[in-house]
Amino acid sequence: MNINRSIFLSSLLFFAAVTAYPQLFADTTADQFPNDKPDPAALRYAETPQPYSWQDLSAMALWASMIEDSAARQVAPYMFRIADAVKALQNAADLPTDTRERGEYVLTFMHAKYLTRYIENQTRLDTLLNNGTFNCVSSAVFYMILAAAVNLETAGVNTKDHAFITLNVNGTLVDVETTNKYGFDPGTKKEFHDEFGNVTGYAYADPSNYANRSPLSQIELVSIILNNRISYLLKQNGEEAAIPLMANTVAFLSKRTVKTNSPYFFDQSENLHSCLFNIAGRFVTAGKNDEAIRYAKYLETRYPGDPKLTEIKDAAVNNTIANLFRQNRYDEAQHYLEAHKNDVSAARYQALFAQIAASDISRRVSSMKTFADAQALLNLLEDPAATAVLNPKQVSDARNAILNNAAIFLSKEQGLSAAISFTEQNLNKYGQNTMLEQNLSAFRHNRGIELHSEFARLWNSGKRDEAAAYLQNALKELPADRNLLNDLRIVQQVQSKQRR
């Protein structure tokens, strides 16, 4: 019998872009996440006081055998069968009074009346009662129930891939290999060793072989039924199918005051954690990013502060934004990030914010139409988070392109004077810049032509005093403009002749 050898501890893989992935399970809604809520009976059994009666052990074992099965509601008939077996055993005329002899009698009784054929993976008590097939776990649990009914004290033992019983005989533990009718204190019994290896395929670990055997409490032995069913489901149906049984196993064993320290006894709490997180990760790789976020947030109620959940949410938000980027839906990407700001780590939020801002800058630089558009981009460039993913040259090139277009827009919207003032301010702010200097020279030249043309209009229309006053103000704006200086000489010459 293979006692849950398989532990699935898959690592989570995250992709910057969503990749094609086969459908792992049916389309999942928030109400259809794997059921990890234990059956109330699991906690009820976990809190059952010891020592367990045969009725307690029977109920536990049948529950472990049948929970999450369509036949789980049909437990009562099996309890009646066990009760009949107990009655037959208790009323047996030749039932010994000696503890050791009674322990061997129970094994003989069980094999003679109930056990028919060994099947390695037949771990369920209900199936044993149906057709007599058994393995080491189901036979050990059945022996434990019958032993409790006749006041015998038992516990479990497990090895790498086998389980059996120990019987307390006046303070001495005696092995009971329940898969074999000769298995009571087998020691060197020739009949036992001839049959045991051939039937089960396993080697008996005698009491002196401490390294290869570990004691189990009665509830831990019963839980191996669940472990074996989980192992089968993991192999046949995948993690999602096994999660309900894992959750029930964790709850079933949750009240133990002493836990076995055995390398062969698997704690399903670790398996449950791994499977739940693997499924959350597969939502991401399957492109179901919103489901991944919702499921990760649900898991945070079970595993608060687990950093893997933050990784899952980071990956899901990242992948959604990557999809929106590929479709040039930058505004939606920004809104999505802000909506999930509290779902991602601070570092991932800052990185995604910077990526969105950088892409937005590039897009908006090429689509600017007004000075307001340009000014908004200049303000954005002042935000360190927005430029975090840009190197200094990229920032400088983007700023130069914006400033150049901004000055042109401003010259059209508010005139060349505003463009000159804007360019001068930015030269003072950012220092020497050949492009800005060339723009400033062009703006001043064109402004000089504007001022000269207006002066000439006034002068030629005979409004010479008004023209002279206009020229004085124009020179205050552009004191070095050659056209205006030539105009000044004309005015001065005329005024000089008039004074004579």
pLDDT tens column, 416-431: 999 999 999 999 998 8
pLDDT on residue 5: 34
Half-sphere exposure of 141 (CA within 13 A, CB side): 32
What the block records as the tokens of 214 is 């570990």
Kindly state the average pLDDT of the residues 128-154: 98
Over range 239-243, report the average pLDDT: 91
Q: 85: domain range?
A: 30-294
Q: Is residue 86 part of a domain?
A: yes
Q: Say how far apart CA 302 and CA 345 lie, in whole Å.
A: 19
Q: Is residue 185 part of a domain?
A: yes
Where does the pLDDT of residue 70 fall: very low under 50, low under 70, confident under 90, or very high at 90 and above? low
pLDDT above 70 for 227 = yes
Q: Is the peptide bond before 51 cis (omega within 30 degrees of 0)?
A: yes
Distances from the Cα of 215 to the Cα of 52, 70, 154, 159, angstroms: 17, 33, 11, 9
In a domain, 451, yes or no: no
At residue 156, what are phi and psi to the nearest 5 degrees? -105, 165
Provide the total of helices (H) and of strands (E) in the chain, helices listed first: 20, 6
Angle at 151 between CA 148 and CA 153, to 5 degrees: 70
Whether residue 139 contacts residue 178, with contact meaning beta carbons closer than 8 Å, is answered with: yes
127 in any annotated domain: yes
328 domain-assigned: no
> Between the ranges 93-102, 193-202, 375-384, where is the mean pLDDT highest?
93-102
Give the bridge partners for 392, in sequence order: none
Q: Is 117 helix (H, G, I), strand (E, B) or coil?
A: strand
**Mean per-residue pLDDT for 450-456?**
94
Angle at alpha carbon of residue 36, lines to 34 and 39, rounded to 5°: 125
Tokens 């047996």 correspond to what residue? Answer: 92
Q: What is the Cα–Cα distance from 342 to 249, expressed in whole angstroms?
A: 34
DSSP string, 16-27: SS-------SS-
Q: 136-149 and 76-90 helices cross at what angle (nearest 10)?
A: 60
Q: Which residues contact 349 (CB under 8 A, 6 or more apart)?
A: 337, 341
User: What's the rounded mean pLDDT across residues 90-114?
Assistant: 97
pTM score of the predicted model: 0.69
Look at residue 142 in the predicted model and tell me its pLDDT: 98
Tell me whether residue 61 is exposed, middle or buried, using C-beta atoms within 10 angstroms of its C-beta: 0 to 12, 13 to 18, 19 or more: buried
Domain count, the chain: 1
CA distance 99 to 232: 37
Lowest mean per-residue pLDDT among 18-22, 27-31, 357-361: 18-22
* 414 belongs to a structural domain: no
Q: Of the candidates 199, 17, 58, which has an alpha carbon nearest to the alpha carbon of residue 117? A: 199
Residues 6+ apart with CB under 8 A from 230: 4, 242, 245, 246, 249, 268, 271
Task: Look at residue 64 in the predicted model and tell me its pLDDT.
Answer: 96
Please indicate, yes or no, if residue 413 is contained in any of the structural domains.
no
Q: Which of 406, 381, 377 is nearest to 392 (CA)?
A: 381
Q: How confident is the model at residue 202 (pLDDT cuts 50, 70, 90)?
A: low
**Lowest-pLDDT choice from 29-33, 375-379, 474-478:** 29-33
321 belongs to a structural domain = no
